[in-house]
Chain A
Amino acid sequence: MEDNSSKYQVFVVNSAKYMTLTTTKFDRRKKWEKSDPKEIRSIIPGSVIEIFVVPGQLVKGGQVILTLDAMKMYTKVEMPFDGVIKSINVTKGDKIPKNCVMINIE
């Protein structure tokens, strides 16, 4: 049998400590972080078709700020609440992945 004892790590379950190996998936897990409502992230990979706002602009909640061409469909991205556009991190024609911060709100 393979000797893995040197790779054992401390693992806490139900307030007790155990020596054990961990899985690749466990090691790669991402720490949970509270999402920032001031960041407009892409929820699907796609390309930016049109940007309707400029930095410094005051935008009302519900107004369309950007369209994304994703999966053969134009998806409208809306302003989540009233606010001022702080920065725009994408330009027209950009291909972007999922979860990309496209726009920051002040």
Chain B
Amino acid sequence: MSFKRNILDLRKRKKEAQQGGGEKAIEKQVAMGKKTARERIKAILDENSFHEYDLFVEHTGRDFDMEKKVLHGDGVIIGTGTMYNQPVAIYAQDFTVAGGSLGLMHARKITKIMDHALKMRVPLIGINDSGGARIQEGVNSLAGYGEIFYRNTIASGVIPQISVILGPCAGGAVYSPALTDFVFVVENISKMFITGPSVIKSVLGEEISMEELGGAMVHSEITGNAHFFAKSEDECFEQIKKLITFIPWNNAQKALKFPIQQPLNTKSIEEIVPVDPHNPYDIRDIIKAVTDGSDFFEIMEYFAKNIVIGFGRIQGNTIGFVANQPMYLAGVLDCDSSDKAARFIRYCNAFNIPIVTLEDMPGYLPGVDQEHAGVIRHGAKLLYAYSEATVPKVTVIIRKAYGGGYIAMNSRHLGADFVFAWPTAEIAVMGPEGAANIVFKKEIDEAENPTEMRNQKIQEYKDKFANPFVAASKGYIDEVIEPSETRARLIHSLEVSGSKVDQRPAKKHGIPPF
């Protein structure tokens, strides 16, 4: 008596199931420039670390002749493995099996691995490549989506959830990625939309291609649904592997500490910022001048470029950076930049990542479109997120800090632990030109030469208020610092905030303006 027969039989069954949709379907997948689901999992996880579950799960479709069809693994692969020797849970939809369509058992497999990830408190990575709901399974497939969305929501802020869009992701299916923390897209491969181009054309007469409607760059640049854009699947996997080094495995932990590195001193920090406050520069150069190894991992690089968000390390610890970008739209706050920064701040707060804010912000973007788009409501998200955050919060004001934007950018008044300002900082209720026109209206109107008087009053206002010393005299700024001291000040202020406790009243949850 031996097990041999059984083992050989098992091997045969496994081999067959692992073929997914079979050779022809795999050929088609490759022809579209896509890797197979199994290849994708292997590329993301540590070598040989993947362990699969539910390989033999069969679909339950009994209508429209579905009972005669075999769908290996029901079009999705689930399992666990490791990244940098730390456990993660993963699933990948297999487009070669019935177009990766989602039926009841397909969804059950996904929710099984989601439950596992949440219980074990490990990150969840979901690879989406699916034609959508399996129509033949009717309301069962809708039930499946709903159960996934519910789990995405419950796990939100407990474990990191990463969505990778490597194929179509249309209709209701888009809402799982939308509920997760980070969405990765790849040029020419990712397609996301609620209703496709043909429906839009027939109903509204608008003609648009799939790429223009919901391609990778559209979601990176226009809609803000995607956080990371890559030109190839391989580049995308490298981005995922880099992101994971910056974040903790769950909300009870801190991100892994890395060996301390000095910034690469390519340019002195003072040389980065132009003397004339009217001239732009790249705020990312300032971030790189203070982070370990000048490494800055930008998130949402293409969306609302007037604000920059991302991770870097200071003394080996992960820091979330939020910084106005004078190079785009003069660094104004608007609907999109407020929304972008607010969500990132909430991510950092949920996962115990201190926030450093670099401020050079001339005010809110004026315009009917902004007002009617709800800049009040969207702008409020930023105030809410900063006020709500209990992680260490440090602000450095580099140049402009005007009006409501000054309050919004993690001011002392919203609970910043430390606020520093460069001597070039201009902290005031509004810019000198506008303020002079209001404060000195009478003098200007009555002057013999109003233009001369206006210029004189603008200068007067500038000298008196466009500096950090008025704010410092009230203690709103803790210290005016030399630019070259910035990193040292950040290091110290983050060090002393290491065991910060900020108790808030107990509540079910707040009601942020979203």
A contact residues vs B (CB 8 Å cutoff): 12, 31-32, 34, 43-45, 69-76, 97-98
Contacts and interface: CB of A to CB of B under 8 A. Distances in A.
Given A12-B203, A31-B206, A73 B331 contact: yes
Task: Give the one of B202, B362, B366 with max A CB within 10 A.
Answer: B366
30 contacts: A12-B203, A31-B206, A32-B208, A34-B208, A34-B212, A44-B365, A69-B278, A70-B330, A71-B329, A71-B330, A71-B331, A71-B332, A71-B365, A72-B277, A72-B278, A72-B330, A72-B363, A72-B400, A72-B431, A72-B433, A73-B278, A73-B326, A73-B330, A74-B278, A74-B279, A74-B280, A75-B329, A75-B330, A76-B280, A98-B369
A95 B471 CA distance: 33
Interface of B: 202-206, 208, 212, 277-280, 326, 329-332, 362-363, 365-367, 369, 400, 431, 433
B367 A71 contact: no
A72 B433 CA distance: 9
Given A31-B206, A71-B362, A73-B331, 17 more contacts: A12-B202, A12-B203, A32-B206, A34-B208, A43-B329, A44-B329, A45-B366, A69-B278, A71-B363, A71-B365, A73-B326, A73-B362, A74-B278, A75-B280, A75-B329, A75-B330, A76-B280
A45 B370 CA distance: 12
Contacts of B369: 98
Sorted from nearest, which 5 A-B pairs have the closest CB atoms?
Answer: A73-B330, A71-B330, A72-B362, A71-B362, A12-B203
Nearest to B209: A34
Contacts of A45: 366-367
B223 to A, nearest CB: 13
B212 A44 contact: no
- Main secondary structure on A side of the interface with B: loop
A98 B369 CA distance: 9
Task: Give the one of A12, A69, A70, A71 with max B CB within 10 A.
Answer: A71
A73 B280 contact: yes
Contacts of B202: 12
Contacts of A74: 278-280
Contacts of A69: 278
A40 B331 CA distance: 21
A97 B332 CA distance: 16
Nearest to A49: B278
Contacts of A97: 367
Nearest to A43: B329
